[in-house]
A and B are shown apart, each in its own frame.
Chain A
């Protein structure tokens, strides 16, 4: 097996761009099927990042705990209004779409996920989650490390993709490129409209200028590989929306648009394994009483539309969606009708392969830490590891280190 760089150098040399697309589309998809084995080869993981630190206590509400309305005297969810999951926890009442999926047995809620000695810095915490390393010694992302092992050299420029303004570090890999975009309208190398015959010359020259290799990896090296990845993925991505009819009612926001793009990529059978989308705005230090419910509405309705769409195209069985956020919020609300930075939080895993239910206990509001924050029940590496081993068929210990218990929220041996 040769490296992605070798592949791209060989494949992009001076061949025309249009000639590249069918080659990988036919051969690349088959190569990667062989490389990962048939059982897991068709599966896609969708990662939804809730950026800013989502307030878990107002998302999955411990409505039966008498301490909840005391701690959340200003911005608490009225406990009579929650959508009960069981006798102790209920969804925020705006999350009706998620409740419908729950009722269909397609949702696992994993509670109190975090890591010891949590950083309350957004930026440190985000890097911890991206790299799965609280010591911040890992450069690559946790899924980037997986991709380097499982996907490198498969020839598919769309093994992973991010619907994001910047490449999420979760997917930072050494040998797998990640097409990154918010929309596809401008995802192509435009040239001089007055001289259409010169366009392929410009692309060839651009690729040649992106083809230099350096002894020591440097910024020019990275920019070069980005340039090659861009050209390699653009033509095929331009076509994914052709003739596509959405079968779900996506809300008019960037998350709905992002998940619709992801559904199009899945439906086009391009062999995408990891598809990533970011939705922001969760850092609700003030005015959470006004701002948070609309965000949860967007999350819930977008995920519901996404699975409706997949169902309509008979694609849902090969898709698992997971959420993460850099931290939860302080147990007690602050004087600005908001919440300050916290620690653990619940996360959602959605799909036909989940072991439906609540995995873990309700948050323990009676035993907060010295900063007034919630305790950790499940380490986030257990959360990741369960997905790596049971959904992606990976050796999770090799990626995360050993010793993280499997949380059992993914059915084994299904699909």
Chain B
């Protein structure tokens, strides 16, 4: 089985390994061929980001406020020249998250985000140690108060259940023993005087439980490093448990479907070599199964991806303040999840209220005729297209938003929309600047709010 590398494959890859592409970006990626395209995305250190970083630093995002952090992160997703770096950072933000409501220090969440970016494609072991010693995480899941004789199981449980192994691959005894091993990993300088922003990791031997522990069948006077080694080294009849867990979750994230067993086997084998996240991701993006028809448009965009992709694919501009304000209504307050699991993916993002919140944000993007804020230029994206007919307008915008594959009846309804006069009166299409300004904007809003664009 091999990949039939088409322009649609490149658009699919850019939607999944990034946040969607413009027509020019899709063309350029397609021209690189499968291996070249995947390498361009995966080996992203080769891409110079200095100009973007300088521009980002000059933007007035207040990183001492949670909304500022949200704007900053969405800006990176939309405009960084390394889309997969941000897509992977976002994966870790979804998989292994902390929230401001409990952590309180915005800088700690910024630092966690930077750690997740720095180690996004590293050895999994390095990321697991770094996040287990991350001050925001130590506060968020209470390991900061986990001490000898006074164990706190919260982090130990989620380390195995949510982050590394998955439920069913450890017992309650293991939860208690891992908690004991993690005693002493805590924070210093976590206090109100510094707005809870100055905390650093510290390993306090006097708080560590020096007794013998038994974790996943092994016994010894283990510390946190040992516990992580044992957890990530855990194998069963099917191979590395963490490799299967991480491989399946990354597959679900990129492919938008459950991983077939043979794919999990293959990803586990890649992982087993050196626990390299990067090589697992590369294997996913090169897999023929990733490009099969049923994986297309199977991923429900999260609210953040929805906000970012709409701006990016329309070549719009945004300070993401409108998006940050819409996050609560859309069901995803970035950097403030309700619990340790973060958010459920897939259709659980979508309900009637969150749909209206998305449609309202899309309306802001579509109808902002001012010079600032979240906006796009309808005339610019229609330039070079034949828009003398309503079919031409619909096909140009549908292609731009990658929703050209809708059912014929939906395309007909969009054409009917372009033709309709006020209140549904019979009308006609004339290619004037006024008509483009009304109907192209309206059509973009309808397309962005329709099911087709909620799927990537």
Contact = CB atoms under 8 A, between A and B. Distances in A.
B178 to A, nearest CB: 13
Contact of A180 (B149, B339, B351, B369): B351
B331 A166 contact: yes
Given A208-B409, A209-B410, A340-B152, A121 B353 contact: no
A122 B340 contact: yes
A162 B331 CA distance: 13
A208 B451 CA distance: 11
Contacts of A179: 351-353
Nearest to B179: A340
A contact residues, range? 35 or more
A327 to B, nearest CB: 13
B355 A226 contact: yes
Interface string A201-240: 1101110111110000011101110110110011000000
A336 B420 CA distance: 65
Interface in B116-161: 141-142, 145-147, 149-154, 157, 161
Interface in A307-322: none
A286 interface: yes
B352 A230 contact: yes
Interface string B10-31: 0000000000000000000000
A271 to B, nearest CB: 17
User: Which of B146, B331, B355 has the most A CB atoms < 10 Å from its CB?
Assistant: B355
Contacts of A280: 338-339
B376 to A, nearest CB: 14
Contacts of B298: 218-219
A191 B442 contact: yes
Contacts of A204: 413, 416-417, 420, 424
Interface stretch (A23-31, A181-189, A262-270): A181-189
Interface in A167-200: 167, 177-182, 186-195, 197-198, 200
Interface in B192-224: none
Contacts of A415: none
B449 interface: yes
Contact of B142 (A123, A189, A190, A286): A286
A336 to B, nearest CB: 4
A334 interface: yes
Contact of A335 (B152, B328, B438, B454): B152
Nearest to B101: A281
Given A182-B328, A201-B424, A230 B445 contact: no
A47 interface: no
A216 B162 CA distance: 31
User: Which of A192, A204, A370 has the most B CB atoms < 10 Å from its CB?
Assistant: A192
B347 A222 contact: yes
B356 A220 contact: no
Nearest to A209: B450
A205 B152 contact: no
Contacts of B343: 166
A223 B456 CA distance: 13
B329 interface: yes
Contacts of B423: 197, 200-201
Interface in B414-456: 414, 416-417, 420-424, 438-439, 441-443, 445-447, 449-452, 454-455
Nearest to B331: A165
A252 interface: no
B300 interface: yes
Given A209-B446, A338-B152, A226 B352 contact: yes
A123 B445 CA distance: 36
Contact of A205 (B339, B369, B416, B422): B416
B357 interface: yes
B142 A181 contact: no
B68 interface: no
A51 interface: yes
Contacts of B146: 336
Contacts of A341: 153, 157
Nearest to B332: A165
User: Which of A123, A162, A166, A234 has the most B CB atoms < 10 Å from its CB?
Assistant: A166
A133 interface: no
B352 A166 contact: no
B414 A121 contact: no
A351 B438 CA distance: 53
A226 B172 contact: no
Contacts of B455: 219-220, 223
A209 B438 contact: no
Nearest to B326: A186
A191 to B, nearest CB: 6
Contacts of A334: 150-153
B341 A202 contact: no
A283 interface: yes
A249 B451 CA distance: 41
A371 interface: yes
A395 to B, nearest CB: 28
A177 to B, nearest CB: 7
Nearest to B183: A335
B236 interface: no
A223 B451 contact: yes
A220 B410 CA distance: 13
Nearest to B343: A166
A124 interface: yes
Interface in A3-60: 16, 51-52
Contacts of B451: 209-210, 212, 219-220, 223-224, 227
A190 B442 CA distance: 11
B369 to A, nearest CB: 7
Contacts of B329: 182, 186
B87 interface: no
Nearest to B443: A205
A167 B354 CA distance: 10
B167 interface: yes
Interface in A100-149: 119-124
Interface of A: 16, 51-52, 119-124, 162, 165-167, 177-182, 186-195, 197-198, 200-202, 204-206, 208-212, 218-220, 222-224, 226-227, 229-230, 233-234, 280, 283, 285-286, 334-336, 338, 340-341, 370-371
Interface of B: 141-142, 145-147, 149-154, 157, 161-162, 167, 172, 175, 297-298, 300, 328-329, 331, 338-341, 343-344, 346-357, 359-360, 363, 366-367, 369, 406-407, 409-410, 413-414, 416-417, 420-424, 438-439, 441-443, 445-447, 449-452, 454-455
Given A122-B340, A186-B329, 14 more contacts: A51-B339, A119-B167, A122-B341, A181-B353, A187-B352, A206-B449, A209-B452, A219-B298, A226-B350, A227-B355, A230-B353, A285-B141, A334-B153, A341-B153
Ranked nearest first, the 7 interchain pairs of A and B with the lowest CB-CB distance are: A335-B150, A197-B422, A208-B413, A181-B353, A180-B351, A223-B451, A209-B450
21 contacts: A122-B340, A187-B356, A188-B356, A190-B359, A190-B360, A191-B363, A192-B363, A192-B442, A198-B439, A201-B424, A204-B420, A206-B449, A209-B450, A222-B350, A223-B350, A226-B351, A227-B450, A234-B356, A286-B142, A334-B153, A336-B152
